[in-house]
Structure 1
Amino acid sequence: MKNIRYILLFLTAMLLTSCEEVVDVDLDTAAPRLVVEASIDWVKGTAGNRQIIKLTTTTGYYSTEIPKVSGATVFITNSSNTVFDFIEQEAGTGEYKCEYFAPVLGETYVLTVINGDQTYTATETMTAVPDITYTTQANDGGFLGEDVEIRYYWNDFPDQSNYYLSRFDAAVIPTPEYDVGSDEFFEGNEMFEFFSDEDLKPGDTISIKLYGISERYHDYMNILLAAAGGGGNPFQSVPTAATGNLINQTNESNYALGYFRVCEVSALQVTVQ
């Protein structure tokens, strides 16, 4: 019996030791793809002339750095063939800036990115957004009634289909929180979105942005948010790949990731009472 006890102790120790071992898994790394962050946002009350486009590439799973793309040619044209050049003012940053962009509601814009021997294009129309009309605060929000909840409201444009993106920034969350929606059941009526957190306290500020977006961008963001675990049905199917609206005119199979969006934005800051 004593020998059996020693054997069991030995096996248990071996199992515990095995559980503590770090296992490195060799993962195949696909060829890098261009990633385009081209969010042309026109905040109400501003000129909207200063815009930025960021270019990076995909990298290995264990990589701690995101490769920047330098030396590309980046520009946007409108329906009048006016060209807005985006220049990488600081080499190596992958950030391409334009100081004279001209946002016009309803205007169609074409983005062109030339990286090496590959040319990518995307087309989008600048979408209007309603004004945020007012906000409310409740101190019994959330599932358990323990959160501070901030709601903001707007009046949906009537007689058309509208799609919206909401963004919330606050010190109590490490990254911005996003949500997308449409006026499918609320066309022409008052709509609202909300942000709640149990750690909000008086004096905290919340930055709120409401974007008018296209239907395609709405669907794209839905896929991204589902993949990131941003709510939805827990039994939903695995989301499909979000490839965005960028087309490689040189080699269609070598598509870029990211999206070219052109939005009007209604923005405000709320202080928790």
Structure 2
Amino acid sequence: MKSYYIIVLIALVSLMASCTDVIEVDVPEGPIRLTIEASLDWEKGTAGNEQTILLSSSTTFYDNQMPSPVTGALVTVTNNDTGTIFNFEDQNDGRYTTANFIPVLENSYTLNVTHNGERYTGTETLFPVSDISEVFQSKEDGEDDEALEVNVSFQDPEGIENYYYLRFQSRNDMLPELFDIKDEFIDGNEATFYYEKTEDESNNIREFEPGDIVDIKLLGVSEDYYNYMQLLIEQFDSAGDPFSATPVALVGNCINLDDSSNAPYGYFRVTQMVQDTFTFE
């Protein structure tokens, strides 16, 4: 009887092996689109006159090549309140630069890009940002009470609807930690946000250690950019989760005036920014 079971098991395994086929699935590839990285960030206390806009073409999902830089475009930014036009010069490597930009709080700015006979545009308003009042380390707020964490505090103005974008970049890591912040529950108060890294050997993530350096940026942003970043961070944090929604390419605030079906990727933002650097002890 035992021999009979063994023979049946061998037959089943052989049958399963013989029925194994390689199935090739055709994955649809979207069109190649213009990608606009137009982050005009004005660091508080500086002139903010030197700014760079990056243009590239998107790649297909399974393409291992880096996005190709876009050259030959015409790029301008207009202050809608004063009518001043700032020309961004083509550096022939996907970068378009100016040394004449003038940031003015509460003013509206419009980006205009002309490429391959099509016109792209987007509009943003420059909002102020609060100063960072304190940066310190602790072990109190995170998931692991033995792990180091960096804390950033700032005072939110009372009675004003504010939106913030907080970015932590450990110099040991390639990717930053991002926070989208609305002052709905912190209006008029000092707020503190922490960043802790939890040990994860499978993803080669280690906790902060004495001597580690973290670069910190706090930006005052528009409500539209806050909503955009909220979706972007949500998709990034849920990557690899089988129960999360299928990620999609996010469309920013730039539109194609000549072909609405060929909207660009990326975002045009104008922000005031404060930054700091923290070294763990």
Identify unmatched segments of 5+ residues in structure 2: 199-206
Q: How many residues align?
A: 268
Distance verdict in 2 for CA 1:104–1:28, change over 3 Å: same
CA spacing shift, 1:84–1:260, aligned 2, 3 Å: same
CA–CA separation in structure 2 for the residues paired with 1:15 and 1:152: 58
Shift of 1:43: 1.0
Cα distance, 1:25–1:240 mapped onto 2, change above 3 Å: closer
3-state SS, counterpart of residue 228 of structure 1:
helix
Q: Confirm or deny: 8 A CA contact 1:29 1:59 kept in the other structure.
A: no
Of stretches 200-209 and 140-149 in structure 1, the one that deviates more from structure 2 is 140-149
Shift of 1:175: 0.5
Give matches, 1:107-126, under 5 Å: 107-126=107-126
Identical aligned residues as a percent: 37
1:243 maps to a residue whose letter is: V
Partner of residue 138, structure 1: 138
Structure-to-structure mapping, 1:246-257, within 5 angstroms:
246-257=254-265
Q: Is the 8 Å Cα contact of residues 155 and 188 (structure 2) preserved in structure 1?
A: yes
State whether residues 141 and 147 of structure 1, in contact with CA within 8 Å, keep that contact through their aligned partners in structure 2: no
In structure 2, how many angstroms separate the alpha carbons of the residues matched to 1:45 and 1:239?
A: 38
Choose the corresponding residue for 2:225, options 189, 211, 217: 217
Structure 1 residues 206 and 14, CA gap change in structure 2 (3 angstroms): farther
Instruction: Give the direction of change, closer, same or farther, for the CA distance of 1:151–1:99 in structure 2 (3 Å limit).
Output: same
Q: In the TM superposition, what is the alpha-carbon distance from 1:88 to its structure 2 partner? A: 2.1
The letter of the residue matching 1:68 is: P
Partner residue of 1:34?
34
Q: Which residue of 1 aligns with 2:251?
A: 243
Residue 269 (1) aligns with residue 277 (2): yes
Q: Output one character per residue of 1:194-243: Cα deviation in whole Å (capped at 9) or x when no partner.
A: 11125211111111110000001100111111111269xx9886677632
Counterpart mapping for 1:1-273 below 5 A: 2=3, 5-6=6-7, 8-9=9-10, 11-12=12-13, 25-65=25-65, 66-79=67-80, 80-89=82-91, 91=92, 93-198=93-198, 199-229=207-237, 242-273=250-281
Task: For 1:18 and 1:172, locate their aligned partners in 2 and report how far apart those are by CA, in whole Å.
Answer: 48
Secondary structure of the residue aligned to 1:87 is strand
Structure 1 residue 17: deviation in Å?
9.7
CA distance in 1, matches of 2:190, 2:39: 27
Distance of 1:18 and 1:44 partners within structure 2: 66
**Deviations along 1:225-270, whole A, 9 cap, x unmatched?**
1111269xx9886677632111211122221121110000010001
SS of the counterpart of 1:63?
coil
Sort the Cα spacing of 1:102 and 1:191 in 2 relative to 1 into closer, same or farther, 3 A. same
Once structures 1 and 2 are overlaid, which stretch shifts more, 107-116 or 133-142?
A: 133-142
Q: Give distance in 2, aligned partners of 1:235 and 1:192.
A: 31
Where in structure 1 are there 5+ consecutive unaligned residues? none
| SS of match in other structure, 2:226 | helix
Q: Distance in 2 between the 1:218 and 1:178 partners?
A: 12
Query: C-alpha distance in 1, partners of 2:12/2:98?
Result: 66
Amino acid at match of 2:71: S
Residue deviations 1:163-194, cap 9 Å, x none?
Answer: 00000010343311111011111211111211
Checking the alignment, whether the CA contact within 8 Å between 2:171 and 2:215 is kept in structure 1 is no
Moved more, 24-33 or 253-262: 24-33
**TM-score, normalising length: structure 1:** 0.88
Q: Could you say what secondary structure the match of 1:157 adopts?
A: coil
| 1:60 Cα deviation after fit | 1.4
Equivalent AA in structure 2 for residue 63 of structure 1: D
SS in 2 for 1:137: strand
